Structure 1
């Protein structure tokens, strides 16, 4: 496998906005590694919802590109944050800036037209998200209807919701025709961890062949925190044991939940390095970083060199 060699960077430092630490990742990153979950904020050009009072600071494309350099990723997936509601203008603008190596997940409602969906697809949108964790209605009819509408485009439905919500909605989830993606390990809570019934629900959905899990934002749900995140790492490790072919990785940069909670920013390179604790085998890590995202987000297959 062709890889990016970060050895020349080991003694260097790099400062990334909204990220603590300055070291580069210690992992040898395969070509076409993908960060499958991050946000772009640009409130100057694209104002937030009037009712959103968190006032997230600007986190534009240029700042994110610095993070890519630090991590060694070249592909990325932009997720419309809840600050924008169903206004995806900021995300779509970022897609135009980032080009063919970027994809996006947007937030929509029933008012969207088929023409608008087609235009989004051409730009690189490959999924929709329901932000139930921030108060979006658990509207089963709307979720099913929108899932049916995007099915022909080959998109997926991503859920940001609590583990309890997952258990509550399991009868709906099995009806969705599209692939399903759970953000942030499905928010399996601590200290219950994999003993929470949501873990079993998610694994049963994975067994059906159309469900994926993001190993993103280790600080989400962790009671241990930096530098080990041993509790959420353990959950990730169990997913790897169960179905490595259904996992992707994401940074969750610029870490809006931590900003809102007035917490210190996490170390993105450290969180990526901890993927090795969850997936000790390099081949499995490469699958999570390259092959799985290519399938889920419709990236071109990895190029290989021939003699």
Structure 2
């Protein structure tokens, strides 16, 4: 089985739950040591997930005979070396596939000319991942990095800051992000946890968890786009395909239907909390998920109109306009 592909045989799924024409998978990674080495100081070593497997996975979810569009996100094992992502963007464009990228960069050593070159190749933003190493998040450091990043990319058309932070962080970041000169993409439900990962006092009201109201406020002000992705990172309810996230996702669908996008998060890497004492000599296996069943859940929770907006209209406006 390909990394993270999963199967829905026997579940009665029809093509209405597959990705429609012009859908965009806004969060995928490529791990290919044949194209270039991982960073020496990385948090983990993943299994191989080359571009050809990504294309096969995408095709398995696509209702149309052509693959849907992709946004490649720089994965943390490569740190600031985006050369592998750039190679893959070139290969996808040579196939006439719609593809964009989100980079991870050391802005102290990256020139404006290099940023413009990446823009020409389809890069549309910079990712700040404060979750990959499993360590505590420093709000002061995050705020400083947000300001620095926004100042460097504000003149690049369509560029955004993509962040992966704990859900509570939005309370601390609300006023900062509200006044940033660029839009922000909130990775993986904005870090909002399902009841299976919440403290007992919040399990019956997951939309009351810290940060939730602030995240909705920023999205209503069109300053943040929430990515419906990484459900397995926010819930332990594997047997039901993460059904405990329903109230959170339905709230997003009801309150901010034009500010949500979807990402498969292929190839479903492990959890940063397991990496602090891990060995880089051992390849971390990918999780196997039933991606079609997850799409079915999302369709049922949102309804066809919002589901299609999430997959086609919203990412088309955000990445491709």
One fold, TM greater than 0.5? yes
Partner in structure 1 of residue 106 of structure 2: 109
Separation of aligned partners in 1, 2:39 and 2:187: 23
Q: 1:97 to 1:226 in 2, by over 3 A?
A: farther
CA RMSD of the aligned region, Å? 2.2
1:69 and 2:67 matched:
no
Q: 1:167 to 1:242 in 2, by over 3 A?
A: same
Separation of aligned partners in 2, 1:228 and 1:44: 33
1:297 and 2:308 matched:
no
Deviates more, 1:158-167 or 1:117-126: 158-167
8 Å contact kept, 1:161–1:186: yes
Q: Secondary structure at the match of 2:162?
A: strand
Q: Secondary structure at the match of 2:70?
A: strand
Task: Count residues in correspondence.
Answer: 284
> 5 Å matches for 1:34-73?
34-52=24-42, 54-72=44-62, 73=67
Q: 1:109 to 1:283 in 2, by over 3 A?
A: same
Partner in structure 1 of residue 167 of structure 2: 163
Partner in structure 2 of residue 222 of structure 1: 235
8 Å contact kept, 1:103–1:126: yes
Q: 1:101 to 1:197 in 2, by over 3 A?
A: same
- Which of these residues, 13, 18, 23, is aligned with residue 33 of structure 1? 23
8 Å contact kept, 1:48–1:83: yes
8 Å contact kept, 1:48–1:84: yes
> 5 Å matches for 1:266-277?
266-277=289-300
Q: 1:183 to 1:65 in 2, by over 3 A?
A: same
Deviates more, 1:173-182 or 1:228-237: 228-237
Separation of aligned partners in 2, 1:25 and 1:129: 35
> 5 Å matches for 1:103-252?
103-110=100-107, 111-135=109-133, 138-153=141-156, 154-191=158-195, 192=202, 193-252=206-265
Separation of aligned partners in 2, 1:129 and 1:40: 15
Partner in structure 2 of residue 81 of structure 1: 75
Partner in structure 1 of residue 5 of structure 2: 19
8 Å contact kept, 2:253–2:260: yes
How far apart are residue 275 of structure 1 and its match?
1.7
Q: Secondary structure at the match of 2:100?
A: strand
Separation of aligned partners in 1, 2:18 and 2:269: 28
8 Å contact kept, 1:37–1:252: yes
Separation of aligned partners in 1, 2:173 and 2:116: 29
8 Å contact kept, 1:35–1:250: yes
Separation of aligned partners in 2, 1:287 and 1:263: 29
Separation of aligned partners in 2, 1:234 and 1:279: 11
- Which of these residues, 271, 286, 293, is aligned with residue 308 of structure 2? 286
Q: Which runs of 5+ in 2 are unaligned?
A: 196-201, 275-284
Q: Secondary structure at the match of 1:163?
A: coil
Q: Which runs of 5+ in 1 are unaligned?
A: 1-14, 300-307
Q: 1:189 to 1:259 in 2, by over 3 A?
A: closer
Partner in structure 2 of residue 4 of structure 1: none
Q: Secondary structure at the match of 1:126?
A: strand
Runs of 4+ in 1 over 6 A off after TM superposition: none
8 Å contact kept, 1:104–1:124: yes
8 Å contact kept, 1:237–1:277: no
